[in-house]
Each structure stands twice: as C-alpha cells, then as structure tokens.
Structure 1
Amino acid sequence: MINKQQFWQGLKAQINDFGNNPEWRLRLLEQLVKTQTELTLPTELIVETICNCAVYLQERSQLNFTTVHPVLPLSPQQIQSLEMGLSNSPITVISGLPATGKTRIALNLADAAIKDEKRILILSHYPSTLTAYQQLPGYPYLLSKNSRNQSAIIERICRDHLAQPKLNYLPLYCLPDTELEQLRSPAKLERYLPLITTQSIPQLAQTLSLEFPDLSESRLNWFAYQLKRLEPLLRQQLTLVQSYQNLSKNARETLVQYLSKNLLNPCLATVEEFMGVTGQTLWQNFYDLIIIEESQQLTWVELILISGLTNKLVLLGDENTGFIPASRNRKFFQRILYGFPWLLQYLLPTYTLQLSEQFRLHPELATTIYDTFSPEWIQTNFQQMSDYFPQWEYRLWWEDIPNQQEGEKILEFLKSLDLELIPKIGILTFSETQRDQLIANCPIEYTSVMIKTVTEWQGKEASIVLICCSGNPEIIPIEHWKIALTRGQSYLILWGDYEKWTHAVSRLKRMKLPRIRQGVLS
C-alpha cells in the first residue's frame, strides 16, 4: 500500500528515467502535473484503488448512450462486455486470451460512440490491430500514417461519396417518395431530365408508365406533375454529381483536409506514437471515450497520462502477471510493472469482466493451445467451414526441419498443395529477415499467401497457418507465442528444429505435438 504522494512521486521518478530527450521529459512531467491537478474520473478511480483498496465511485461519466444495435454479431458474454463499455462507469476492464472477441467488442463500442457523436480515441500496442478500425464510420484519423492516411481518405471519399454522392434532399413541402428516389441516380437523371423538360404532363405520365407499370393512372399524373415542379432541383443535383466526379486532385485534397478537421472523426494511434512527439497534437483534446487494445502492455505512466484525457476508459487486454516475483519490500512500481493486470485483480467486479469463450480456433486446436496459456477453461464457439479443406491426420503438428532449412521446406510444401488451398494459407515468422526471404523466394502463383512477422499478424487470422521457427527461440516473449499459436483457424503447422525449440521453450515441449520428419511420424 502506498499513499497518493508516493504514487505521484513514483510516476515522476519513472518519467525522469526516460531516454535522453530533456525537452520531452519536461513535456511529460507537465502533462503529469495537469493530470494530477485536474483529476478525471478514470484517474481518480485508479489512484483511489491503489491507495485505499477497492472503491466504488458514486460520480458517473455523462456518456448517456442512446439505444445501441451491434453492427457485428455478439455472443451473450460479448453483449455484456459491450454494455459495460457503454455504461457511465469511469473504467471498464475486459480481459481475454487471443481470439476471445475483444476487437469485435471494441468495434461495436466505437461504432456506437461515433453514431452517438462522441469524440473517441482508439489506441493499441501493435499497428496491425488498428487495421480493423480504419473502416469505422466517418474518416478515422490514423496518426502513424499521416501522409498515407490522407491518401486512404481520398480513396474512401471517391469510393463512398464521389462515385455515387447522396444528394437526395427535397424541399420541406415534399413528402418522401419511393418512385422519385428510384429516378435520382445519375444515369436515370441524365435520361429523364430532357424528357421532363420537353414533354407535357400527360406525355411524361405515359413515359413513366413504362418505368413503373404498377402505378395507377392518377398516381402517374401526380408523379409527372411533381417531376415538372422539381425539374430545377433535379438538374442542380445532376450538375453537382458531375462536379463531384470531376473534382481536381487539389480540390479533393482540400475536401480531405476539411473532413479531417472534424472533431468527431475517431483518432487511431499506437500507444508509442501517441506518447511520442507526434502524438502531442492529440493531447490537446478531451475525449468522451478512449479504447485501448493490448492494454497489458501499458506502463503506469502511459495508463495514468491517457486516463487524464477522458471520463470513460475501456481497457481490453490479455491478462499476464506484470509482477516480479520478489520481496514485498520492493517499491510499488518495481513489484508491479504494468497497470492492466493489477486493475483486473484489484478493481471492484463491477468494473471488470473476464472473457471465457473463443471464436477462431477449431476445438482440437483450442484444447491443446489454450491449456498451455491459461488454467481457466475456455469455451469454444467455432463454426466449421464448409469449403474444401485437406483431410490431414492432425490439425496441429511439428514438421521437424534441421539445418535451418525451414523456409525452403515451407515453399516446397506450398507447391505440393492444390491451388484452391493457397488463399487460405498464411505464413508467420519471428523475424523480418526470414519474412523478407520467404517473400522474395515465393513463386508468383502463391502471392495470395499472407507472409508476415508475428507482430504483423496481430489482429489477423487464416484457415491454415505455417509458423516458421527460425532464429533464437530464447528471445521470443510469451506475448508473441500467444499471437503465433492463435492465428490458425483450422490447421497450425510449426516448421523448425524440434529438439532446439522444444528444449528452449517449455510450453512447446508441454504441448507434446506430433513430430513428423521427412514424412515419417517420430
């Protein structure tokens, strides 16, 4: 137990140990002082829990979400998580192993916040996790790719709006008209506007009867009258559509700059970028909601500074200890390195939820893999794929490849498969060097195979995943093993020197995987 003064002094000491940039340390210290003097509800709850044990804050945030309809299907437990995220409590902590649906919950939460016109910030530890959020409503601002982000927004505007702009407004005296809406596409306007201008109402009604044979004569006459009356508006709409489609590059960039300044656009960034120099501009905002994925990686400084920018903080992560097995005489920040597991353990249950079902791995994979990471039972909600899959004897096995020939053998394996299987396959490596070699040597007909490093695989999945075990197994953290072993939906094959890797990684040894060498089970 520490008091509040010791807590804030401990954070200041951590900041003073940061890097070699005194100006940046000073900026962090200034932000910390602001956080301490202007306590938000999440910060207050964290500090009170640390210094006074579990507490319940009577004061609530003012999110007050309206009725929410999930845009992605959710299980009952995921719906409970979403409701906690939508509540007015200051903090929601959701813990779950990989494939338990944390991103799906967060996407529904972010979508609801955007539609309710809340200002939101979404952070993650891995850049690849943010990919799922780039298709949220509005124009998400991606801090890590500012220039490329602008190009992506331009492309999205052209696709979603300029190609078929929705200029379907009507004068206030007009009621909505289904038939009129059908005529307001650019192609039909180009065809009908000359007729609306030149034909009389009876002639136009006769022309419309060919387009709408089910309408009565009186309805057709009224429809023709309406079109004649709205002819200037329809002509203006067609002109605007054509103007949008013919916008110059400079005009489109100006439009993007205007849209990017909308404060209701969701902001996306990695925690490292947000806490760095490039993220300073985002510190100036106060957010209705901040969502953080991979929260188990948050340091105390990051957690506290971010919590000072919102009155509602949603943390999603994978529980790991975050404690150093050492004497209790150590100081708080030496014993407890990360805030997420500590909050999960010491916050009141009203603020926390542990996910206990997974939706990606085949049951045979899930039983073996999750047993190596968690003592808790993880329920499987796997939907068996109906398309073609090979009938291999095992779903999870080890291809024993000595002499560092993993890359060559993986490419030989790809060539032995039916081409219709290739789009279902992904290759995971533990180093950029191995990834680049595989990409360089991969035949052109296999370019649909996703070849990425373990961190680039975060947030992604494939039906069949091949793990290339090359390099030094002793430097691979458990976090990366959790990612690697939970990317394959139906099959997972490890390629490498079996003795070397199982000797260095006890978890692999405990899994007791079938070991195949030169096509023979050994």
Structure 2
Amino acid sequence: MSEILTILRTVFNQSNHYIPYRTSLNLPAYDGNFPFRQKQMAALELALSNAPITAIAGNPASGKTEIALAAINMAIAHQRSTLIIAPFASTFTGYRQLSLPPLEVTEDQNYRQSVKTWLKQRLSAPKLDFSPPHWLSDQLFEDLQIKRDRRFWLELLNQLESQTGEQNEEKIAKIIAELYPSIHPARRQLLVHRLIQSKALLQQREHLYQDYVNLSDSSLDQMTDAVMPHFQAPILCTTKHLSRLENSGLDLVFDLVIAEDSNYLTDQELQNISMRGKKLVFLGDLVDRRNLFGKLFNNLLPSYRVELTENHRLNADLAHHIFPLLYTPLIYTATTQKSNSARQGNPQIIWYDVRNSLQFEQTFENLLTNILHNKTRVLPSVLTFTEITYQKLQQLKQRLVEKTPQVSNLEIYNIDDWHGRQCDSLWVICDQDADQSEDNRSNVTNLRLNNLRLALTRSSHQIKFWGDRQYYQEQNIWRDLIANSSFVRDITIIETNQQRG
C-alpha cells in the first residue's frame, strides 16, 4: 500500500489529522507574472508545498485551473514529473498550452505508443534556436527563420558568397525590410550582420533538423525505450484511462498529481489516483459536501486546504442573476468584472420562446446571420443537454453551412463535453421533446442541478435560452431561473399560415 493511500484512509477516518510525512517535491516559491489574488496565492503555495495532500475547493471561475497551471509549469521548469487526471476529457482544454506540450493518454494507444507518438510529434517540428553562449538573445533573428525558413537564408547566402559584402548586405536588407517594414534601419543592419555571420550556425541547425525529421522508426523505438522510465512531459489522463498507466509495465509514480473535478471521483478512482503520485492536489466544487471530495476537504486540517469564494469569469450583471440561484452563500464577483451592457439595452439573460422545430430553425438562422454580418461580434457557443438535440443541431449546422459557409466556425457542445470550456456568449438549447424521449423518461428535463451549474457558469457575458418557456416554468429546476431573472425577455415566435404551408 502506498504512503499516500495510507494517509488518505487515515484522513477519512479521523478528522483534523496531522500528516507528518513530507514529499521531496522541493519546488521554490512561485515567481511568475500572473496576477493571483491573496487567497489564490495561498492555494498555489499549498500546491507547491511538500505536504503530500492538498485540497483546493472553489466554484467555477474561482481560478482553480490557473493555480494548477502555475504549479505544473513550475514542476516542468524544475524537471518534476506531473500527471493531470480528470473525469472528463474536455477538462484538459486549458492544459494543452503548458510550457511543455503534454502527452494525452487515449483509449486507442497503450502508454508506450503514446510516448512514441509524443516524441514523433515533437521531433517532426523541433525547436532549434540554440546560439553561441556569447550571443545575446535576439527574437527577431529567430523570427526570420519562421518568416522565411533556414533553407531560404542558406541558399541566399550561398548565392551571394561570391559577391562583395556591400551587395550582400543590400539584398539581405531589402528582404528584411519587406518582412519588417517598421523596424529602425539600425536594427535592420544588425539583423543583416547577424545573418551573414551565422551561416555556419544555420547550417548546423538545418542538419540537425533533417536528422530529426527523417529519424527511422527503429531509432524512434530506441528513443522511446530510453525515455520511458524517466519521461517528464506532463501527462493528461481521464479516470477511465488510468489502467493504461497501470498496464505500462513500469512503476509510474509521479512527483505531482493534479486531480481536476475531484467532486466527481468515486472511491475506487480515488484509490487508483493515490497509487500514482508522491504529491496529490485535489481541485473540486464543494456544492455537495457529502461526496468524497467534500468529506476529504472537511477532514483535512486548514493547513492543507483552501476554499476560493470569488468569481473571475462572469461579469457582475450576469453573476448577480446566476449565482444566487445556484450557490449559497453568494459568490463574490470583483468590481472589475462590472459590465454596462444591460444599460445599453443588451441584457445578459434572454429567453427565446420557441415552440416547434420550424420556429427554432428560422430564428436560429436569422440570429446567426445577423452576427456574421456584424463582424465585431463573435459567434456564440451552443450547448445542449441531450444527445438527440446535439445530433439535431449538428444536422442544422450542416444545412446552414451550405448557404453560409462561415457557420462552419460555430461550436456546438453536449453537456458531457462542456467541462473546462468557457465562452463570451452561450446559447442553451432546451428541447422538451428530447427530454421526454424513452431514454430520459425517468428525468423529464435531464438537467440535474450540477449540470445547470456547469452550463451557466462558463459564459462570461451573456446567456440565451431557447425553448418553450411555459413548459420549463413547470419544472422546479428552471422555475427560479425564469421567474427571478429581471433580464428574461419573453419572445414568442408565432407560426404564420405561410410558414405552415
């Protein structure tokens, strides 16, 4: 049994238990530039500490993922192995831009194949920006090899080698002026000089580049076997794919494990996670303190836990109407999130009272067309709660793309793929016909309170609902949302005789 699992069992059986065990993570204090608030910084310090278990609780938009990203980037910078675990793959959206590209464990590959694929992707586009130690860093010089690749500059330098230095400089300066018309002539001359002097360096980089991209499969296998025991790229793994790590043939224990959406974890998943890390950081929502994460958070000493109670995503007007319906006590929203859009005649919550598919499609198309014509407005994200409605929306999108190709950029999500995402404007599609289907008969709206929280707390500025308002007013989960929002606008779209024809 692992040390962490023993500690977890003790914590669950004994509240306020002091944990004498310390890990060897030994990460320094955070020195980044992200503007964390005081309580967020306290949570980050706990995540970087040598305490074996840390629990960070908070509502959506409280900054949990930003804290995790900062901790992981610190671990990467100091060569510590990291594992990010979540019940839902969409939660990893925010983790794909780490300082070191992560490896994602998938269902169709074992762990070794995943490592090999990761290496192949990195080596197919190697970042070769090494320079002599006495050179000062010059980002424009490196950018020249992106604007025009190394082979272009090498061929140009070879062609001009027999000509005089002044002719070389003039031709190279002219090309650089076309690429960077706004830089100072003196800066341009420095780039010209550096290019001419760096021919041997560019040749060396190009040779290495060709070696990497043309690496044989057998050589790639050798590299994979060599790096597997101490592979340090961050790994993204859903809870259902943890067995891929267990069956890797290696005793994979990571220096730092981040468990996102811990409020969804089962007892078995919690045990499996505890076997994978020396330091565990649990992130979750405390809306239900009876689940495993809630009990773990309550039983830990205050020195191992932090609860975040702020909102950093929803503007103040939208938060004022959403959070009182979903959370108690009320979540604090910073005044910097204040929006004047309501006073400008642009309410945050709108209900389109549509009662059949024809009405819905016509209104949907008209609104999308208006948005596309107004190039300053961004397309919304569209969210639904049932697979039936999701498929209908995808079919509608394809029909609209034939008339308006720009609609292809419209993003449509099912609730199961909404974790970890965010948007400025959200359209929530409520289809009672789908809700009353055979599969959903036991749950008429198919919207548990957790799903509603997830849906309505990831849009920062505006939410539009589509559906039969009268029908949803009869559902307890919707009644307060419709009745208590002063920004709900009742728009009933009447089907005309022409439409019926």
Contact 1:119–1:266 (CA under 8 A) maintained in structure 2: yes
Match of 1:192 among 157, 160, 163: 157
Paired position in structure 2 for 1:494: 465
1:178 & 1:404 partners in 2: Cα distance?
60
1:405 & 1:214 partners in 2: Cα distance?
65
2:88 & 2:30 partners in 1: Cα distance?
28
Alignment of 1:174-213 (within 5 A): 175-176=134-135, 182=141, 185=145, 186=150, 187-192=152-157
Alignment of 1:143-292 (within 5 A): 143-144=105-106, 157-159=123-125, 161=126, 165-166=127-128, 168-170=130-132, 175-176=134-135, 182=141, 185=145, 186=150, 187-192=152-157, 227=197, 235-244=203-212, 247=214, 257=224, 261=228, 263-274=231-242, 276=243, 280-281=247-248, 284-292=251-259
Paired position in structure 1 for 2:309: 356
The number of residue pairs the alignment matches comes to 448
List per-residue Cα deviations over 1:217-236 (Å, max 9, x = no partner): xx9xx999x95xx8766543
Paired position in structure 1 for 2:92: 130
Contact 2:380–2:423 (CA under 8 A) maintained in structure 1: yes
Match of 1:79 among 34, 41, 50: 41
Alignment of 1:25-44 (within 5 A): 35=1, 38-40=2-4, 43-44=5-6
Match of 1:63 among 25, 38, 47: 25
For residue 300 of structure 1, report the CA deviation from its aligned partner: 2.1
For residue 251 of structure 1, report the CA deviation from its aligned partner: 8.6
Q: What is the SS of the residue equivalent to 2:418?
A: coil
Taking a change above 3 Å as real, the CA distance of residues 87 and 405 of structure 1, as seen in their structure-2 partners, is farther
For residue 77 of structure 1, report the CA deviation from its aligned partner: 2.7
Q: What is the SS of the residue equivalent to 1:175?
A: coil
Taking every aligned residue pair, what percent have the same amino acid on both sides? 25
Matched, 1:321 2:310: no
* Mean Cα deviation higher: 142-151 or 384-393: 384-393
Paired position in structure 1 for 2:16: 54
Report the TM-score when normalising by structure 2: 0.76
List per-residue Cα deviations over 1:203-258 (Å, max 9, x = no partner): 6599669969869xxx9xx999x95xx8766543343345556x379599769957
* Mean Cα deviation higher: 109-118 or 381-390: 381-390
Q: Which amino acid aligns with 2:378?
A: P
Matched, 1:369 2:333: no
Taking a change above 3 Å as real, the CA distance of residues 108 and 382 of structure 1, as seen in their structure-2 partners, is farther
Taking a change above 3 Å as real, the CA distance of residues 348 and 236 of structure 1, as seen in their structure-2 partners, is closer
2:234 & 2:295 partners in 1: Cα distance?
28
Paired position in structure 2 for 1:343: 296
For residue 511 of structure 1, report the CA deviation from its aligned partner: 5.2
Paired position in structure 2 for 1:484: 455
Paired position in structure 1 for 2:279: 312
List per-residue Cα deviations over 1:354-394 (Å, max 9, x = no partner): 11111211211111211122212322237669999995452
Matched, 1:428 2:389: no
Paired position in structure 1 for 2:424: 463
Match of 1:301 among 264, 268, 271: 268
2:470 & 2:139 partners in 1: Cα distance?
72
For residue 406 of structure 1, report the CA deviation from its aligned partner: 7.4
For residue 125 of structure 1, report the CA deviation from its aligned partner: 1.4
Gaps of 5+ in 2: 174-183, 436-443, 495-501
Taking a change above 3 Å as real, the CA distance of residues 213 and 193 of structure 1, as seen in their structure-2 partners, is farther
For residue 145 of structure 1, report the CA deviation from its aligned partner: 5.5
* Mean Cα deviation higher: 96-105 or 121-130: 96-105
Taking a change above 3 Å as real, the CA distance of residues 479 and 176 of structure 1, as seen in their structure-2 partners, is same
List per-residue Cα deviations over 1:312-348 (Å, max 9, x = no partner): 110111113253xxxxxxxxxxxxxx32001122211
Q: Which amino acid aligns with 1:361?
A: L
Provide the alpha-carbon RMSD of the alignment: 4.1
1:379 & 1:190 partners in 2: Cα distance?
60
1:413 & 1:510 partners in 2: Cα distance?
26
2:320 & 2:267 partners in 1: Cα distance?
34
Taking a change above 3 Å as real, the CA distance of residues 265 and 403 of structure 1, as seen in their structure-2 partners, is same
List per-residue Cα deviations over 1:173-199 (Å, max 9, x = no partner): x63356899499524344335667x68
For residue 264 of structure 1, report the CA deviation from its aligned partner: 0.3
Contact 2:315–2:338 (CA under 8 A) maintained in structure 1: no
Taking a change above 3 Å as real, the CA distance of residues 441 and 474 of structure 1, as seen in their structure-2 partners, is closer
Contact 1:139–1:153 (CA under 8 A) maintained in structure 2: no
Gaps of 5+ in 1: 1-34, 324-337
For residue 453 of structure 1, report the CA deviation from its aligned partner: 0.6
Contact 1:359–1:382 (CA under 8 A) maintained in structure 2: no
2:264 & 2:93 partners in 1: Cα distance?
19
List per-residue Cα deviations over 1:91-126 (Å, max 9, x = no partner): 111111112222121111111111111111101111
Report the TM-score when normalising by structure 1: 0.73
Q: Which has the higher contact order (CA 8 A, sep 6+)?
A: 2
List per-residue Cα deviations over 1:39-60 (Å, max 9, x = no partner): 23xx343222233321122332
